[in-house]
Amino acid sequence: MSTTDTKSNWVDPDDAPELTDEWFEKADLKFGDRVIRRGRPPGATKQLVSLRLDTDVLTALRAQGPGWQTRANEVLRKAAGL
């Protein structure tokens, strides 16, 4: 083995670090090579909910591409007068 060879210390998949909610919140979200989101901003107070939407509304939102949920949130904020 030459001195330029490297040896991986990783042996077992069980040795991989646990992927926690905190890890995902700090992770960069990418679409191809383009960064869409850089972790959750400090103080973000979003809540996960279940919402039923008409199929055509959901299709139109998703057709706008990545970030459609954020844009939907903006539309709802305006409709709520916020």
Q: Distance between CA atoms of 34 and 53, rounded to whole angstroms? A: 28
Q: What confidence tier does 3 reach under pLDDT thresholds 50, 70, 90?
A: low
Identify which has the larger pLDDT, 3 or 19: 19
The pLDDT of residue 18 is 79
User: Who's near 16: CB < 8 A, 6+ residues apart?
Assistant: 10
List pLDDT tens digits, range 14-62.
777 778 888 777 777 778 888 777 656 666 677 888 989 999 999 999 9
Identify which has the larger pLDDT, 78 or 19: 78
Mean pLDDT of 5-14: 66
Residue with tokens 């060879």: 5
